[in-house]
C-alpha cells in the first residue's frame, strides 16, 4: 500500500480536515468550560447541608459515570426535543443543534467526573483550614472559594488532566448524532476516497498531538501552582 502525503495536503482534503479539527477543538473547549462550571456548582451544592440535595447530586454523578457516554449524547439529541416546549425547540433548531446537544451531554458527563476529582482533592485539605477561614469571617462559600478550592484544585490537577484527555477523545462520540468533528470527517473522507491509511494516520496524529498539548498544559500548571506544602 502506498502512502501519499500529497493526498492529505491537497486542496480538496486539507480544508475538510481542518474543519473537522476545528470542530473537535471547539466542542472540547466548550464542553470543558461548561463542564468545569457545572462541576464547581456540584461541589458547592454538596457543601449545602440538605440531605435531598446531596442525594440529587449523587444521582446525577452516578448517571453520568455509569451510562455509556454515547447514550448520554443520544438522550440529549433525541430525547430533549421531545420534552422541550415548541418555541424553544424552534429557536434551538435554528442553530447548530447537533453541536449544541453533543456539547451539553459531554459537558455534563465530564462535570460528574470533574466534581469527583475536585472532591477527592478537597478531602486532602485539613478541616483546620476551614476553621481558620471561617474564623476570619469568611462565609461557608467564601471559605470554599478562597481557601479550600485553590488548595484542592492543585491536588486535583493530575486527575483533571486525565479527565480532560478522556473528554477530548470522547468528542469523537458526537459523530453518532452527526456532528462533523474530526472522526466523522475522517470517516467521510475515507468513504469518498478510500484512502484509509492517509486519513487515519492524520486523525491519529491529530489526537496524539492534542493529548501532548494537554499534558504539557498540566505540567505547566503544576509548576506554576505547586501543591502547597503544609508548613
Partner 1 sequence: MPDMIDLQHVNKWYGQYHALNDVTNQVKKGEVVVVCGPSGSGKSTMIRTLNRLEPIQGGRIFVNGEDIHAVGRDINVLRAGIGFVFQQFNLFPHLSARENVMLSPLKVAGMTKAEASELAAGLLEKVGLGHRIDSMPAQLSGGQQQRVAIARALAQKSPLILFDEPTSALDPEMVGEVLSVMKQLAAEGMTMVVVTHEMGFAQEVADRIWFMDAGQILEDSLPAEFFSNPQHPRARKFLSDVLEPRGAATLPY
SS3 231: coil
134 touches partner 1 (CB under 8 A): yes
48 touches partner 1 (CB under 8 A): no
At which residue does the C-alpha cell 447537533 appear?
A: 98
Nearer to partner 1, 134 or 169 (CB): 134
Task: Give min distance, CB of 35 to partner 1, in A.
Answer: 24
Task: Give min distance, CB of 27 to partner 1, in A.
Answer: 32
SS3 207: helix
Q: How far is CA 8 from the centre of its chain?
A: 29
Among 37, 78, 84, 131, binds partner 1 (CB under 8 A): 131
Nearer to partner 1, 13 or 125 (CB): 125
Task: Kindly state the number of chain residues that form the binding site for partner 1, as judged by CB under 8 A.
Answer: 22
23 touches partner 1 (CB under 8 A): no
CB 205 within 8 A of CB 8: no
Among 50, 86, 94, 135, binds partner 1 (CB under 8 A): 135
Nearer to partner 1, 94 or 230 (CB): 230
C-alpha cell at position 91:
429557536
Task: Give min distance, CB of 121 to partner 1, in A.
Answer: 12
- CA-CA distance, 126 to 128, in Å (whole number)? 5
Q: What is the x/- site pattern for partner 1, positions 136-155, by CB under 8 A? A: xxxx--x---xx--xx--x-
132 touches partner 1 (CB under 8 A): yes
Phi/psi for 55 (5° steps) reads -65, -45
- CA-CA distance, 17 to 203, in Å (whole number)? 9
Instruction: Indicate the angle between helix axes 97-123 and 14-47, nearest 10 degrees.
Output: 40
Q: Which is nearest to 115 in space by CA: 55, 207, 50, 44?
A: 44
- Window 100-129: residues binding partner 1 (CB under 8 A): 128-129
Which residues are at the interface with partner 1 (CB under 8 A)?
Answer: 128-129, 131-139, 142, 146-147, 150-151, 154, 225, 228-231
Amino acid at each position: 500500500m502506498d502512502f501519499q502525503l500529497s493526498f492529505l495536503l491537497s486542496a480538496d482534503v486539507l480544508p475538510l480536515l481542518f474543519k473537522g479539527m476545528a470542530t473537535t477543538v471547539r466542542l472540547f473547549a466548550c464542553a470543558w468550560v461548561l463542564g468545569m462550571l457545572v462541576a464547581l456548582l456540584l461541589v458547592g451544592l454538596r457543601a449545602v447541608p440538605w440531605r435531598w440535595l446531596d442525594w440529587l447530586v449523587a444521582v446525577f454523578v452516578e448517571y453520568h459515570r455509569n451510562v455509556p457516554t454515547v447514550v448520554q449524547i443520544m438522550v440529549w439529541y433525541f430525547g430533549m426535543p421531545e420534552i422541550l416546549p415548541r418555541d424553544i425547540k424552534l429557536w434551538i433548531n435554528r442553530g447548530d443543534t447537533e453541536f449544541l446537544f453533543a456539547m451539553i451531554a459531554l459537558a455534563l458527563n465530564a462535570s460528574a467526573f470533574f466534581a469527583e476529582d475536585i472532591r477527592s482533592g478537597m478531602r486532602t485539605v485539613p478541616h483546620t483550614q476551614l476553621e481558620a477561614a471561617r474564623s476570619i469571617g469568611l462565609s461557608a462559600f467564601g471559605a470554599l472559594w478562597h481557601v479550600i478550592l485553590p488548595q484542592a484544585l492543585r491536588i486535583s490537577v493530575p486527575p483533571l488532566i486525565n479527565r480532560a484527555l478522556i473528554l477530548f477523545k470522547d468528542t469523537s462520540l458526537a459523530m453518532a448524532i452527526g456532528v462533523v468533528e474530526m472522526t466523522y470527517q475522517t470517516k467521510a473522507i475515507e468513504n469518498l476516497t478510500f484512502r484509509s491509511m492517509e486519513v487515519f494516520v492524520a486523525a491519529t496524529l491529530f489526537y496524539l498531538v492534542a493529548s501532548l498539548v494537554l499534558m504539557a498544559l498540566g505540567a505547566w500548571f503544576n509548576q506554576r501552582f505547586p501543591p502547597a506544602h503544609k508548613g
